[in-house]
């Protein structure tokens, strides 16, 4: 990625809340990733499998063999050129929206982070716990610095649950879905090719429709931050991808 392209993408990401970069992974790399996932025994409590969804939470802990393939030179360069140094992984989930899936996700922002314990700390609120995993809404400044990369393992469009987003909603702080003024806002469907990535702000309002064709939508969702948390809490899944070889 040349410097002018990186500058343009950074501007677009800041203004619209997302960018799409295709051809980050070859089809061969994608198939190798899927093979690793398919051959991982689903016997951990972080696996969830139903007719409508297959998900693996704490993905890198559950499927460590995927790490070298995911953090290839292209992805590392994208992170470095768009955000600089000092970022680390804070959360990773694998989502498989199978062809027969009939569920949708309503508009929302990703307002919580995963931490290792609960504590009373000023500015941290809305605590929840699910499968022994604590989540909390941190101060807005942390969310504004965080970003998410969604790695697409299938061609994804409006027919198999591609994300819909409200462009620029990342600039409006906490933006409740029931407050969306559709007369003023612009919705976009994010079509991403197999092997491509979508980079987005957690403050971007996003949703996804039901699948209407027979194609799967498999995505690896990775969250990043450069913020250290106040004691005694720590990031639940902190991983320094720079150390991966």
- Mind listing the domains of the chain with CATH numbers? 3-243 (2.60.120.620)
Map residue 192 onto helix, strand or coil: strand
For the stretch 142-153, pLDDT in tens is 999 999 999 999
Asked if pLDDT for residue 50 goes beyond 70, the answer is no
Asked if pLDDT for residue 57 goes beyond 70, the answer is yes
The confidence band for 184, taking pLDDT boundaries of 50, 70 and 90, is: very high
Could you tell me the strand order of the sheet in which 163-166 lies?
105-108, 206-208, 163-166, 187-189
What is residue 132's predicted lDDT score, i.e. its pLDDT? 79
Question: The dihedral of CA 233, 66, 208, 169: what is its sign?
Answer: positive
79 vs 84: CA distance, rounded Å: 7
For the stretch 104-117, pLDDT in tens is 889 999 999 999 99
**Strand-pair category, 133-137 with 113-115:** antiparallel
- Planar angle of CA 186, 188, 193, nearest 5 degrees: 165
Return mean pLDDT, the chain.
92
Mean pLDDT of 5-29: 96
CA distances to 4, 33, 61, 123, 131 from 153, rounded to whole Å, are 28, 9, 19, 37, 26
């Amino acid at each position: 990625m040349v410097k002018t392209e990186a500058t343009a993408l950074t501007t677009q990401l800041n203004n619209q809340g997302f960018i799409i970069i295709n051809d980050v992974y070859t089809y061969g790399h994608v198939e190798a990733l899927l093979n690793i996932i398919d051959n991982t025994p689903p016997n951990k409590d972080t696996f969830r499998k139903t007719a409508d969804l297959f998900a693996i939470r704490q993905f890198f802990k559950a499927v460590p063999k995927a790490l070298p393939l995911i953090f290839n030179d292209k992805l590392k360069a994208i992170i470095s050129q768009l955000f600089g140094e000092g970022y680390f992984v804070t959360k990773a989930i694998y989502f498989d929206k199978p062809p027969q899936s009939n569920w949708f996700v309503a508009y929302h922002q990703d307002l919580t982070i995963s931490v290792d314990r609960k504590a009373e700390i000023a500015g941290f609120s809305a605590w929840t716990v699910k499968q022994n995993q604590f989540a909390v809404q941190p101060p807005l400044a942390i969310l504004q610095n965080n970003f998410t990369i969604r790695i697409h393992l299938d061609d994804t469009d409006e027919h198999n649950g591609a994300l819909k987003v409200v462009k620029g909603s990342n600039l409006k702080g906490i933006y409740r879905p029931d407050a969306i003024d559709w007369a003023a806002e612009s919705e976009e469907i994010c079509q991403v090719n197999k092997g491509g990535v979508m980079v987005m702000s957690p403050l971007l309002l996003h949703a996804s429709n039901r699948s209407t064709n027979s194609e799967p939508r498999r995505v690896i969702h990775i969250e990043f931050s450069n913020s250290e948390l106040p004691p005694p809490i720590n990031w639940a899944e902190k991983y320094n991808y720079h150390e991966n070889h």
